Amino acid sequence: MPSVNKVVLAYSGGLDTSVIVRWLQDTYNCEVVTFTADIGQGEEVEPARAKAEALGVKEIYIDDLREEYVRDFVFPMFRANAIYEGEYLLGTSIARPLIAKRLVEIANETGADAISHGATGKGNDQVRFEMGAYALKPGIQVIAPWREWDLTSREKLMAYCESHNIPVDFANKKKKSPYSMDANLLHISYEGGILEDPWAEAEEDMWRWTVAPESAPDKPEYLELTFEKGDVVAIDGEAMSPATVLETLNKRAGAHGVGRLDIVENRYVGMKSRGCYETPGGTVLLPAHRAIESLTLDREVAHLKDSLMPKYAELIYNGYWWSPERLMLQKAIDESQQCVNGDVRVKLYKGSVSVVGRRSNESLFDEKIATFEDDAGAYDQKDAEGFIKLNALRMRIAAQKGRNLK
């Protein structure tokens, strides 16, 4: 076992991380620094301070990272239109590099030689936390208790609390949700319980941010989103900070049942996992961003971006936010967004988001050329004949040679 003097723990104040504090103190005989991040999970984070103090922690960090999270992580990802395996908007994945970054910063500030987290050995989060930490501080030690201890069930964790005098209210001894949940400003995820059966429908009372689409208002709601360089900066003409944009979209879209997702995904560690997600704001942002790009991006730039997106999304999902290839892709993506400016109007209704209008001073849409009416000579339709023949040339030659196209 390596020698550890001080370790920074990503601390929520719940059962697992409360046990980890004491386990680190006892197992490694080290000082523990706790770090609690407010990234918009919708719960008070300040109570974590009292819980950490009761466990003997002297250095306690509680940081409001909501604006940084949306500005520097969520928005750059949405500039890429990133979506994993055709459906998942990467709500958990994109929060992890920020937490890893802050863990390393606190380790540097406090002179800690290790970091620790409560991710299990079966999931993706262990990879994301640790890949980020190693990229930012190559010599950092990582302690992952779930890969070391034998506390493999909630009952064993509760027994540990009782035997080590960890206050039971800090360990959430009261009735627990049957689901493993993780929330931040972009989404809330649900795993476990009946969701472990891919055939079982999620219970209606599981969902927290969205109403059932069939119970949503019968009247649609319209929103107007203003984009600057690919990011939303105002809603209905009201300027907003990045975090406020996402908070507002979550509330207004969630009220119309927008943003529910039920998928089986391929984890990086090799297994398939069924999860349910609520991402109301992100479910509006993605089509709205694509709509403003449809006006302002050159065709080949747009198509190249689309071809790069699956790789970009996979990098985020697998924990490579701080990798040189993601940084390289981000520079190209951000360069493409310089003219992605304008307004998009969307309609929210019964669980759906529809783009119903878009406008931009940077628009490449030319009504004179696109019109089905008289274009006054703006486009010579005779030019299409040569265009078609040149593009068909290779196929015509192959056919003349008797190539079998069936």
The whole-number average pLDDT for the span 350-354 is: 98
The confidence band for 375, taking pLDDT boundaries of 50, 70 and 90, is confident
Is residue 168's pLDDT more than 80?
Answer: no
**334 in active site:** no
Q: What stretch of H or E contains 403?
A: none
* 314 close to 256: Cβ distance less than 8 angstroms: no
State the average pLDDT for the chain.
95
The secondary structure of residue 144, as a DSSP letter, is -
Residue 130 neighbours by CB under 8 Å, 6+ apart: 100, 117, 142, 144, 319
Please state which architecture CATH assigns to domain 6-68+93-176. Answer: 3-Layer(aba) Sandwich (3.40)
The secondary structure of residue 279, as a DSSP letter, is -
∠ CA(298), CA(301), CA(303), 5° rounding? 105
The whole-number average pLDDT for the span 293-308 is: 98
For 88, the 3-state DSSP assignment is: strand
Residue 400 neighbours by CB under 8 Å, 6+ apart: none
**197 in active site:** no
Q: Could you give the count of Cα atoms lying within 13 Å of 292 in the half-sphere of its Cβ? A: 32
Domain boundaries, the chain: 6-68+93-176, 182-297+339-359, 371-400
Compare 278 and 42 and report the one with higher pLDDT. 278
What CATH class is the domain 182-297+339-359? alpha beta
The confidence band for 170, taking pLDDT boundaries of 50, 70 and 90, is low
Share of the chain above pLDDT 70, in %: 98
The whole-number average pLDDT for the span 238-260 is: 98
Residues 82-105: pLDDT tens digits? 999 999 999 999 999 999 999 999
**16 in active site:** yes
Is residue 344's pLDDT more than 60?
Answer: yes
Quote the CA–CA distance of 338 and 227 in Å, as a whole number.
Answer: 11
The confidence band for 133, taking pLDDT boundaries of 50, 70 and 90, is very high
* 307 close to 373: Cβ distance less than 8 angstroms: no
Is residue 405's pLDDT more than 80?
Answer: no
Please tell me the predicted confidence (pLDDT) of residue 103: 98
Please tell me the predicted confidence (pLDDT) of residue 169: 66
Residues 54-63: pLDDT tens digits? 999 999 999 9
Name the least confident of 12-16, 88-92, 169-173, 252-256.
169-173
- Which of 49, 180, 294, 343 does the annotation list as catalytic? 180
Beta strand 59-64 pairing with 180-183? unpaired
- Which of 125, 182, 260, 358 does the annotation list as catalytic? 125
**180 in active site:** yes
Please tell me the predicted confidence (pLDDT) of residue 153: 86
Cα–chain center distance at 192: 20
Please tell me the predicted confidence (pLDDT) of residue 175: 55
Residues 177-194: pLDDT tens digits? 788 899 999 999 999 999
The whole-number average pLDDT for the span 362-368 is: 93
Please tell me the predicted confidence (pLDDT) of residue 18: 93
Is residue 174's pLDDT more than 60?
Answer: no
Please tell me the predicted confidence (pLDDT) of residue 404: 75
Please tell me the predicted confidence (pLDDT) of residue 377: 86
Please tell me the predicted confidence (pLDDT) of residue 130: 98
Is residue 132's pLDDT more than 70?
Answer: yes
Task: Look up residue 355 and give its two tokens.
Answer: 């783009």
* 123 close to 117: Cβ distance less than 8 angstroms: no
Q: Provide the 10 A C-beta neighbour count for residue 266.
A: 12
Please tell me the predicted confidence (pLDDT) of residue 172: 53
- Which of 96, 102, 128, 326 does the annotation list as catalytic? 96
Phi-psi region of 107 (alpha: psi -120 to 50; beta: other; left: phi over 0): alpha
Please tell me the predicted confidence (pLDDT) of residue 173: 52
Compare 3 and 172 and report the one with higher pLDDT. 3
Please tell me the predicted confidence (pLDDT) of residue 198: 97
The whole-number average pLDDT for the span 139-158 is: 93
The confidence band for 368, taking pLDDT boundaries of 50, 70 and 90, is confident
